[in-house]
Chain A
Amino acid sequence: MPREIALADALVPSILLVYLGCLLVLWVIDTIVGRYGLYRYVWHPSLFRVAVFFVLFGAVGLLLYP
């Protein structure tokens, strides 16, 4: 994956797109988890959410910058 992507002739760092994509994935996970009430098994839901985001973003980010 290239490190910069031209969107309408503006070079956008692809890590930004990854960031937005990860936010979207996080939102989906969050909705599913919340829908089935699984946050009851988590001590600190918002910390958990942040951690999930870091895992996602870190994993995909490592693909870009190995």
Chain B
Amino acid sequence: MPGAHRGVVSRRGPQPTGSYPHAHIQGNMVWVTAQAGRDPGNGELVVGGMAGQMDRAISNLEAILEECGSSLDRVIRTQIMYTDRADVEAMDEVYARRFQAPRPVRTSWGVKFLAAEPGTELVRVQIDCLAAVG
């Protein structure tokens, strides 16, 4: 409904581990919570370092966007946080393959740490977005 706003939790994205939905729709825009490279099936981080995590994180965004009536090609803006400066080329390579023209604007920066994952590989990257709906 135009003007309505609501939170969305999709069965196709990794289940939230805190007090947040996958996305929030307001009017004809959807704000998507930052996604890491977690498998939506078991919630665990995928293997494959930056490339594997980035690809999975974007697939999670894609599933959530579709649930919201949007898609990757309607993303206007992304933000990417990553933990290792040596990962920048791998990050861009995956990103360029997954986001085709018209490409979004982007802000990315290095962070000290992301979500802790005891016993598994560290979360190396997360990405959020703002997209048009409809």
Is the A/B pair a real complex?
no
Chain B contacts to A: CB under 8 angstroms? none
